[in-house]
Chains A and B, each alone.
Chain A
Amino acid sequence: MFRRVLLVLGVAGAIGAIARVRGKGEVVETTEGGWRELDGPEFR
């Protein structure tokens, strides 16, 4: 009985961890454009 409870908890924990990692996903910026290093005219 104890082993079964442990097994169920273990499986539930593993599924939860996988779902948490998969659910994070990448955040996509909603703006258009990009970053350019400050140089030249900006330093004058």
Chain B
Amino acid sequence: MTVALVVGAGEIGTRAVRQLLDTSGFATILLADKDTSRAKAAADALGPSVHAVEYEPGEAIPPDVEVIACALPAGIDHEVIAAAILAGVPVASSDDEHDALEQLRALDQNARSSGVTVAIGCGLAPGLTDVLAVHAAALFESVDEIRVARTGWAGPASVDTVRHERRVPVRAWRDGGWREERSRGDALVFFPDPIGGRDCRVVTGSTLLLVDAFPNVPRLSVQLGEPPRRTRFRRRFGDEGEWGAARVEVWGQRDGSHGCVAYGVVDRTAVAAGTVLAVVTARLAGVIGPVVKQPGVQGLGVLVEPVPFLAELAQRGVRSAVFEGVPVA
């Protein structure tokens, strides 16, 4: 039986713990948070298998821990992952901020030489969307563009990350290379019902994870929806951010013609992200299916086999959909 450490008792972390509890094979789940009272309250609510522990990023990984899930605000998980690599423990992280992802990827050589698998971007988008992109790309003979979009946020730290990403200059992957671009502002992206059309803006975000998975695709982009405004007017379903959605569009050639496959998913953002984080953590521990062991720091588009992963998520209630119709290029 496996001992897991979940660092971060926020919206995503607690959902991940709940999913790990539903996975047979975990004997004990240790839950850590800088706010120890919050970790203790969550552990008490989640049951006797969950124990609050005092652990802070930068400290050595507690003994007996066999796998780690990080659900921390942007950038903080770097120290946890560095310690995990040192301890030889596989780790999954839900961090989705561009600079933080770059810093985590800088640990790649350390992870490889230590034989440790580090899964980054384990959430709704990045995360599930990267796997959907791989699944859709397999339907084409050649792919020339992948667009990923997300609306929704898992908590205050997630809202901060979205605001930051939408504000900073964009580095886009165009014609097989990085290019600085001025923001072209918001454009409508259509998600599955009941979210529908939402304003989204191209950001740098997790584009680099798409580049890792699809280095030969000329155009890759990530869009993020508008975070909540501080107004009580104009509220629609999903505006409060509890409900989120993601859309993946893959354009390419198949059967001699140019076409598109669009996948979408709607769920409570924190639930979807927590479920993805938990399933990846369980896969790293070898609790669900064969153990995922691919030393290095990688996103899910590289690390995960799409079909069993999507089936596992569907079994846990995170279901993806395909658009059947004629999307506009």
Do A and B come together as binding partners?
yes
A10 CA to B233 CA, complexed, in Å: 16
Instruction: Assess the A27–B307 pair: CB atoms within 8 A.
Output: no
Distance in Å from the Cβ of A2 to the closest Cβ of chain B?
Answer: 27
Which one, A21, A27, A36, A43, contacts B196 given CB within 8 A? Answer: A27
Stretch at the interface among B93-101, B185-193, B205-213: B185-193
Contact across chains for A43 and B307 when beta carbons are under 8 A apart: yes
What is the bound-complex CA distance between A8 and B244, given in angstroms? Answer: 40
**Which residues of chain B come closer than 8 Å to A39, judged between CB atoms?**
314
Q: In the complex, A21 Cα to B232 Cα: how many Å?
A: 10
Judge whether B127 is part of the interface by a CB distance below 8 angstroms.
Answer: no
- Answer whether residue B327 sits at the interface, using C-beta atoms and an 8 A cutoff: yes
* List of A residues within 8 angstroms of B326 by Cβ: 31-33
B178 at the interface (CB under 8 A from A): no
> Is the beta-carbon distance between A36 and B234 smaller than 8 angstroms?
no
Distance, CA A14 to CA B264, complexed state (A): 39
B323 — which chain A residues lie within 8 A by C-beta?
Answer: 33-35
Interface residues on B, range: 20 to 34
| Cβ contacts A25-44/B at 8 Å (1 or 0 each) | 01111111111111100111
Q: How far is the CA of A30 from the CA of B196 in the complex (A)?
A: 12
Q: What is the distance, in angstroms, from B171's C-beta to the closest C-beta of chain A?
A: 29
A38 touches B197 (CB 8 A): no
Per-position 1/0 for B306-328, Cβ under 8 A of A: 01001100100001111111111
Known: A24-B234, A43-B307, A43-B310. A37 touches B325 (CB 8 A): no
What residues of A have a CB within 8 angstroms of the CB of B153 in the complex?
Answer: none
Q: Is A9 an interface residue (CB 8 A)?
A: no
Residues of B within 8 A of A31 (CB): 190, 325-328
CA distance A38 to B192 in the complex (A): 13
A11 within 8 A of B: no
Considering the chains assembled together, what is the distance between the CA atoms of A29 and B234 in angstroms?
19
Q: Is B214 an interface residue (CB 8 A)?
A: no
Q: Is the CB of A29 within 8 A of B264?
A: no
Q: Is the CB of B319 within 8 A of A38?
A: yes
Residues of A within 8 A of B321 (CB): 35-38
Q: Does A20 contact B (CB under 8 A)?
A: yes
Q: Given known contacts A27-B196, A29-B197, is B322 in contact with A38 (CB within 8 Å)?
A: yes
Complex Cα spacing A21 to B197, Å? 17
Within the assembled complex, what's the spacing in Å between the Cα atoms of A20 and B135?
Answer: 42
**Docked complex Cα distance between A21 and B310 (Å):** 39
* A27 and B314 contact, CB distance less than 8 A: no
- Roughly how many angstroms separate A29 CA and B328 CA in the complex, as a whole number? 10
Per the bound structure, the CA–CA distance linking A20 and B232 in Å amounts to 12
Q: Does A17 contact B (CB under 8 A)?
A: yes
Q: For residue B327, which residues in chain A have a CB less than 8 angstroms away from its CB? A: 31, 33
Known: A34-B323, A36-B321. A21 touches B233 (CB 8 A): yes
Asked whether any CB of chain A lies closer than 8 Å to the CB of B173, the reply is no
Q: Contact flags (1/0) for B275-311 with A, using CB distance below 8 Å?
A: 0000000000000000000000000000000010011
Asked if B234 and A20 make an inter-chain contact with CB atoms under 8 angstroms apart, the answer reads yes
- 24 CB < 8 A contacts A-B: A17-B233, A20-B234, A21-B234, A27-B196, A28-B197, A29-B197, A33-B324, A34-B324, A34-B325, A35-B193, A35-B264, A35-B322, A37-B320, A38-B310, A38-B314, A38-B319, A38-B321, A38-B322, A42-B307, A42-B310, A42-B322, A43-B310, A43-B311, A44-B307
Chain A residues packing against B (C-beta within 8 Å): 17, 20-21, 24, 26-39, 42-44
